[in-house]
Structure 1
Amino acid sequence: MYVAVKGGEQAIARSLELLAEARRGDPALPELELAQIREQLRLGVARVMQEGSLYDEELAALAMRQAAGDMLEAIFLLRAYRTTLPRFGYSLPLDTSSMRVRRRVSGTFKDIPGGQVLGPTYDYTQRLLDFDPTAPAAVTPATAPLPSQMPRVLDLLDAEALIERFAPGDDAEPFDLTREPLSFPADRATRLQNLARGDEGFLLGMAYSTQRGYAESHPFAGEIRMGEVDVLVCPEELGFAIEIGSITLTECQMINQFQGGNGVPPQFTRGYGLSMGEGERKAMSMALVDRALRCDELGEASYAPAQNQEFVLSHSDSVEASGFVQHLKLPHYVDFQAELSLLRTLAAQQSATPNEQPLSTAGEQ
Structure 2
Amino acid sequence: MYVAVKGGEAAIANAHQLLADRRRGDRSVPALTLEQIAGQFQLGLDRVMAEGSLYDVELAAMAVRQSRGDLIEAIFLLRAYRTTLPRFGASVPLDTGNMAIERRISATYKDLPGGQLLGPTFDYTHRLIDPAMAGDGPVEPGLRRPLAPGDAHCPRVTDLLGDEGLIERDVAATADEPGDLTREPLEFPAGRDLRLQALARGDEGFLLSLAYSTQRGYARTHPFVGEIRIGLVEVEVDMPELGFAVPIGRVRLTECQMVNQFKGSAKEPPQFTRGYGLVFGQSERKAMAMSLVDRALRADEFGEERVAPAQDEEFVIAHSDNVQATGFVEHLKLPHYVDFQAELDLVRRMRAEHAAAENARAEREAAE
TM-score normalized with structure 1 length? 0.93
**How far apart are residue 234 of structure 1 and its match?**
1.2
| Of 115-124 and 227-236, the range deviating more from structure 2 | 227-236
Partner of 1:360: none
Separation (CA, whole Å) in 2 of partners of 1:89 and 1:171: 14
Residue 258 (str. 1) matches residue 259 (str. 2): no
Determine if contact 2:104/2:118 at 8 Å carries over to the other structure: yes
Q: Among residues 218, 236, 240, which one is paired with 1:236 in the alignment? A: 240
1:103-142 aligned within 5 A: 103-133=103-133, 134-137=138-141, 139=143
Q: State the aligned residue count.
A: 355
Partner of 1:305: 309
| Of 238-247 and 274-283, the range deviating more from structure 2 | 238-247
Structure 1: segments with no counterpart, 5+ residues: 358-365
| Of 146-155 and 41-50, the range deviating more from structure 2 | 146-155
- Deviation string 1:234-266 (CA, Å, 9 cap, x unpaired) is 133333211111110000000000011131000
Residue 209 (str. 1) matches residue 213 (str. 2): yes
Change (3 A) 1:43 1:174: same
Separation (CA, whole Å) in 2 of partners of 1:136 and 1:309: 45
**How far apart are residue 136 of structure 1 and its match?**
3.1
Q: Among residues 337, 340, 349, which one is paired with 2:353 in the alignment? A: 349
**How far apart are residue 145 of structure 1 and its match?**
7.6
1:264-275 aligned within 5 A: 264-275=268-279
Change (3 A) 1:143 1:37: closer
Letter in 2 for 1:55: Y
Percent identity for Structure 1 against Structure 2: 63
Partner of 2:364: none
Separation (CA, whole Å) in 1 of partners of 2:318 and 2:290: 15
* Partner-residue secondary structure (3-state), 2:19: helix
Change (3 A) 1:89 1:144: closer
Change (3 A) 1:102 1:349: same
Residue 158 (str. 1) matches residue 162 (str. 2): yes
Separation (CA, whole Å) in 1 of partners of 2:342 and 2:183: 38
* Partner-residue secondary structure (3-state), 1:234: strand
| Of 87-96 and 168-177, the range deviating more from structure 2 | 168-177
Separation (CA, whole Å) in 2 of partners of 1:52 and 1:24: 24
Partner of 1:31: 31
Partner of 2:366: none
**How far apart are residue 90 of structure 1 and its match?**
1.1
Change (3 A) 1:167 1:353: closer
Change (3 A) 1:147 1:78: same
TM-score normalized with structure 2 length? 0.92
Separation (CA, whole Å) in 2 of partners of 1:200 and 1:147: 30
Structure 2: segments with no counterpart, 5+ residues: 362-368
Tell me which stretches of 4 or more aligned residues in structure 1 moved more than 4 Å.
3-6, 138-145
1:308-347 aligned within 5 A: 308-347=312-351
1:21-170 aligned within 5 A: 21-133=21-133, 134-137=138-141, 139=143, 146-169=150-173
CA RMSD, 1 decimal: 1.9
Change (3 A) 1:323 1:227: same
Partner of 2:183: 179
